[in-house]
Structure 1
Amino acid sequence: MTEAARLAAESGVPSDAPRTADGVPHGQRVLDRLVALLDLEKVEEDIYRGVSPRHSPVRVFGGQVAGQALVAAGRTVPADRGVHSLHAYFIRPGDPSVPIVYQVDRIRDGRSFTTRRVVAIQHGKAIFALSASFQLAEEGIEHAEEMPDVPAPETLPTNGELLTPELREKFGHIIDRPRPIDIRYVSEPPWLSRETGPRDARNQVWMRADGVLADDPLLHVCVLAYASDMTLLDAVLARHGVYWGTDKVMGASLDHAMWFHRPFRADEWVLYDCASPSASGGRGLATGRFFSQDGKLVATVVQEGLLRLHE
């Protein structure tokens, strides 16, 4: 096990980590814990092992297993080939108390494209499967949708600044976890929509890694993959005026796809513009677009989630 992974497994958030006004750890020390989670141990050729934070919810966060699987795939690919797409299925809930083994299958090594398949395993069973494609950089035709006109991230409040004491009592166990990703809501947060009623099936946030990341393109892609599982399904929930952790909604990610269009840094602000075109059969579909602060479309996301409502 690497030293970074050991620190992530054996330690919680450092006691000297900076905290928001409401006491939630954030900043470089917390971000370093995320980077440590992505620093997988190589067990054997094409076999890697990852861990979860010591203080975890009852199941592994989907963005974590997606980010770690992408790290495993990327470590078997030449550095001059960047990931351009991934497609993944969440098969079983991950157990945060034990390591996750990632097995990489080298599907193809072509002249321009490299394809990898990764299976995440716990207790002898697959919990997650990912296929990723990497491409040698080349020139081609260019166009992209324009970024929506939204307020600058620096003008928007943090999550903690939006929570009233009453809302903190209801949702603090979700909102007040250590924050390696700084998130600023442009649209009304879904926990407020629950109080004010349903709204459009849309959600917009600015987000960035809350610190400085090394100049490794694969790391930035993996951190964005981690963050892409945050707030995406909020667009579905907002339409129905419910939120995670209430007595009405239970949910989980089912599948996840991403396309990476242009270079970016995950430690700089990106706008995550999400919408939900449909919900049916106990499932909700959400699409997301990542824009850099200068207006470039850098990535697109599609996810379907299990969403069961109970009275």
Structure 2
Amino acid sequence: MSTLIRPPPLDPSKAPIENLLELTQLPDIDPDLFTNTRPLWHPPGARGIYGGAAIAQCVSAAQRTIPPDFTIHSMHCYFVLAGNSEIPIIYHVERVRSGKSFATRTVQARQRGKVIFTTTMSFVRQNSGGEKLLEHSTDMPNIPGPVEGMDDLDHDGSHTGPFQSQRIEILNNDSPHPHTKKTRQWIKARGQISPAGGHEAHISAMAYMSDSYFVGTIARVHKLWRYSAVRKSNTKSSIDEELLKKLLAMDDESLKRVKFMDQADIDRLRKYKNGEDPRDEKPEIGMMVSLDHSIYFHNPRSFKADEWMFTEMETPWTGDGRGLVFQKIFTRDGTLIATCVQEGLVRLRQPGDSKL
């Protein structure tokens, strides 16, 4: 059973991402307990549920325990265990502090009594900074805007995901220095987020999307083969056989629109089609999972997650089996709305590891 209570019908007045992230409060047990109303997505080849769902639902749960004139400004998360999509998640909000200007909440996501995800969030009262403000912000790069009808395909080759994305060519992609490269894309929630959802729904939706191929930036800038189809592995870097068959059946133009495929991946798939083994060219990812995730919300009431947002990611360091990635998120008109940081476990397949 993937939910504690039978899910209600989808609400047509809400965007797909709102229905996906809906929470059910459990007041008969504890007013600060919540659970996922609907089943959560387990990406193909991943160790567990999509991490963005846990991030977003923790935000949603915490937002329901604070006064309406407070807004989140930062959250710091740790992925503790892989979430099981077949088991309901219980979110427990702890009201750490409720002050005049700031409020602090922690949320633990639990399955079978074990913590799988934990986060601490801070909320600030609106307009508490005073009349005179010190302000500055980085500029959004001058890049091509999104193009109608050019969305990347979802994992299953259809337009069914809760958000849309359009990748832009990696900046400095031919550089020998991975830290100089930047991966970029346009993203937005599919459909229109309901007025009833308020700014809270837009914040949760953006938090959900912030985890999209975040730690994967490291493999992309190193041009590593991230999707091994020949190893029967249960890591984030593997890909299932059915999905591989779909990819091998696609032409190059269709592959370019698959969200997780880069030109390096397409070149390797072409070699698979020709009977060659592309794994001998470069090291292969053995395991890649997110360890932690931080979001700093800069203008949390000034954006709409169902309108195009631009994201830019770069990785300043990788070593000792881990890697760090920074992400900036802008509105289409260039307002910086969030800065995100994620560290991930990035282990290469070692000599002697089985290929089967």
TM-score by length of 2: 0.71
**What is the Cα deviation at residue 201 of structure 1?**
3.5
User: Which residue is equivalent to 2:192?
Assistant: 212
User: Which residue is equivalent to 2:293?
Assistant: 256
1:7-46 map, 5 Å: 7=9, 32-43=15-26, 44-46=30-32
Question: Partners of 1:181 and 1:204 in 2: how far apart?
Answer: 16
Question: Partners of 1:112 and 1:212 in 2: how far apart?
Answer: 32
Question: Partners of 1:65 and 1:49 in 2: how far apart?
Answer: 11
Structure 1 counterpart of 2:206, from 224, 227, 236: 224
Question: Partners of 2:149 and 2:170 in 1: how far apart?
Answer: 11
User: Which residue is equivalent to 1:289?
Assistant: 328
Question: Partners of 1:124 and 1:3 in 2: how far apart?
Answer: 18
Larger radius of gyration: 2
Give the aligned residue type for 1:53.
P
Secondary structure in 2 matching 1:94: coil
Question: Partners of 1:242 and 1:298 in 2: how far apart?
Answer: 31
Secondary structure in 2 matching 1:121: strand
Identity of aligned residues (%): 32
Secondary structure in 2 matching 1:186: strand
The answer as to whether partners of 1:198 and 1:241 remain within 8 angstroms in 2 is no
Structure 1 counterpart of 2:104, from 94, 108, 115: 115
TM-score by length of 1: 0.80
1:135 lines up with 2:117 in the alignment? no
Give the aligned residue type for 1:36.
N
The answer as to whether partners of 2:328 and 2:339 remain within 8 angstroms in 1 is yes
Question: Partners of 2:225 and 2:159 in 1: how far apart?
Answer: 16
Which sections of structure 2, spanning at least 5 residues, go unmatched? 230-283, 351-356
For residues 33-88 of structure 1, what are the alpha-carbon distances to aligned partners after superposition, in whole Å with 9 as ceiling and x for unaligned?
A: 43123221111210111155366335110000110011111110111111111000
Q: Structure 1 residues 33, 243: CA separation in 2 closer, same or farther (over 3 Å shift)?
A: farther
Number of positions where the alignment pairs a residue of Structure 1 with one of Structure 2 = 276
Question: Partners of 1:174 and 1:87 in 2: how far apart?
Answer: 31
**What is the Cα deviation at residue 210 of structure 1?**
1.4
For residues 181-219 of structure 1, what are the alpha-carbon distances to aligned partners after superposition, in whole Å with 9 as ceiling and x for unaligned?
A: 111111249xxx8xxx99654210010111101231111
Which sections of structure 1, spanning at least 5 residues, go unmatched? 9-27, 161-171
For residues 160-186 of structure 1, what are the alpha-carbon distances to aligned partners after superposition, in whole Å with 9 as ceiling and x for unaligned?
A: 3xxxxxxxxxxx857658321111111
1:236 lines up with 2:218 in the alignment? yes
Give the aligned residue type for 2:36.
G
Moved over 4 A (4+): 1-5, 172-177, 197-200
Report the aligned-residue RMSD.
2.9
Question: Partners of 2:226 and 2:159 in 1: how far apart?
Answer: 14
